[in-house]
Amino acid sequence: MRLQSTISRLCEHHELPADDYQALLTTDDAESMAFLHNEAQRVTENVFGRNVYIRGLLEISNHCRNNCHYCGIRKGNSNLHRYRLSKSEIIESCMIGYERGFRTFVLQGGEDPAQTTDWLVDVVTTLHSKFPNCAITLSLGEKSYVDYERLRLAGAERYLLRHETYDPIHYAQLHPEEMSRDRRLQCLRSLKSLGYQTGAGMMVGSPYQTVDNLVEDLLFIQQFTPEMIGIGPFIAHHDTPFHNFPNGSPLFTLRLISILRLMHPHALIPATTALATLLSDGHTRGIMAGANVIMPNLTPAGVRNDYALYDHKAGYGAESVEGLDLLRAELSKIDYTIKIGRGDYSPTCLFPSPSPVGKRKCG
């Protein structure tokens, strides 16, 4: 097996030089890849047990002031029915989620100027008092330090903001002129310094992406140490400038999940909706590759299809709050169970095994 020693080094030291990441991303050696996935799954099990955390994903608005070239809810898409949830709809949805066992709510949306920081602070404060044993995660794009701070003080503890791509030139190919890689990174640093559990990540196979871009993404994630890492394949949306580009590869996404798991054994890594959209067994394949989180959709059914980031986005069945039993059944086939709880990031071993995972060792 060609890359066994590289994978073992990643497993032991949690970091590699660029050349080694390059080799892992370009190899066609099936045996090495099987070893990579096995190691990643073993490390995940050592840290978290055979448990999967669930987060209720509530898409609170599909209005967006940005015009990202890949995204179906971009400002320039005039073929989309736009919606924004009211405070009471958000609370109602969280109630439904709470009854089904969710203890984390992820409020995601476009950058909607009508959902002002004052309004969001009120929503977060209310959720925090109504669900004191739940974590509130936000995924609402770029804001000022002061806005992030106000939301943090109101009770939001986690923030997902994918860096999308570390390379500034690639970033400019994916985004309109007024957005920049530097601003994105500045936001991520602000979030970390405010004490948010912070999520970064990128799309896999986005237009113009090179292997070198992905190596840079890995090196960035290695150094930034996000508590959460969200990656999924790029999927074309028919009403965007990228409608003719091919979808990213789900298998290559699994390879990256495994590398990221060995890099950050304690990170929260979802098997994402995009992965489940392209692979019918995306959840279980993601978990077997080292993911440990699934985010079923909690958005009211009447508007769920309108949060159309890309074509054929999954949001029903095992990808939804209504389908939790289906998800349980999928997971039980691979002998995993849903763990009810907040599922916070914790850089210690949660499930000591005969060969426990120390902070810098992976069994």
Q: Which residues bind ligand SAH (CB under 6 A)?
A: 70-71, 108, 110-111, 139-141, 161-162, 164, 203, 232, 234-235, 237, 274, 309-310
Name the minimum Å distance from CB 230 to ligand SAH: 7
Sign of CA dihedral 339, 286, 293, 63: negative
Task: Judge residue 247's burial from the number of C-beta atoms within 10 Å of its C-beta, 0-12 exposed, 13-18 middle, 19 or more buried.
Answer: middle
Sign of CA dihedral 242, 56, 226, 129: positive
Q: Which of 321, 324, 315, 317 is nearest to 56 (CA)?
A: 321
Name the minimum Å distance from CB 232 to ligand SAH: 5
What CA–CA distances, in Å, run from 212 to 26, 167, 325? 10, 9, 41
Name the minimum Å distance from CB 314 to ligand SAH: 12
**Which C-beta is closer to ligand SAH: that of 201 or that of 363?**
201
Q: Is 323 helix (H, G, I), strand (E, B) or coil?
A: helix
Name the minimum Å distance from CB 351 to ligand SAH: 30
Name the minimum Å distance from CB 2 to ligand SAH: 31
**Which C-beta is closer to ligand SAH: that of 32 or that of 206?**
206
Name the minimum Å distance from CB 71 to ligand SAH: 4
**Which C-beta is closer to ligand SAH: that of 233 or that of 265?**
233
**Which C-beta is closer to ligand SAH: that of 265 or that of 270?**
270
**Which C-beta is closer to ligand SAH: that of 108 or that of 297?**
108
| Token pair 């002031």: residue | 65
**Which C-beta is closer to ligand SAH: that of 32 or that of 108?**
108
Give the separation between CA 179 and CA 35, rounded to whole angstroms. Answer: 39
Name the minimum Å distance from CB 203 to ligand SAH: 5
DSSP 242: T
What CA–CA distances, in Å, run from 177 to 113, 171, 173? 19, 10, 9
Q: List strands edge to edge, sheet with 293-294.
A: 293-294, 51-54, 337-339
Name the minimum Å distance from CB 72 to ligand SAH: 6
**Which C-beta is closer to ligand SAH: that of 3 or that of 271?**
271
Rounded to 10 deg, the angle between the 87-100 and 117-130 helix axes is 30
The structure tokens listed for 149 are: 């701070």
Q: Which of 54, 1, 31 is nearest to 291 (CA)?
A: 54
Name the minimum Å distance from CB 113 to ligand SAH: 12
The structure tokens listed for 253 are: 């996404």
- Report whether 125 contacts 154 (CB < 8 A): yes
**Which C-beta is closer to ligand SAH: that of 127 or that of 188?**
188
| 28 Cβ neighbours under 8 A, 6+ residues apart | none
Name the minimum Å distance from CB 159 to ligand SAH: 9
Q: List strands edge to edge, sheet with 158-160.
A: 56-61, 104-109, 135-139, 158-160, 197-200, 228-229
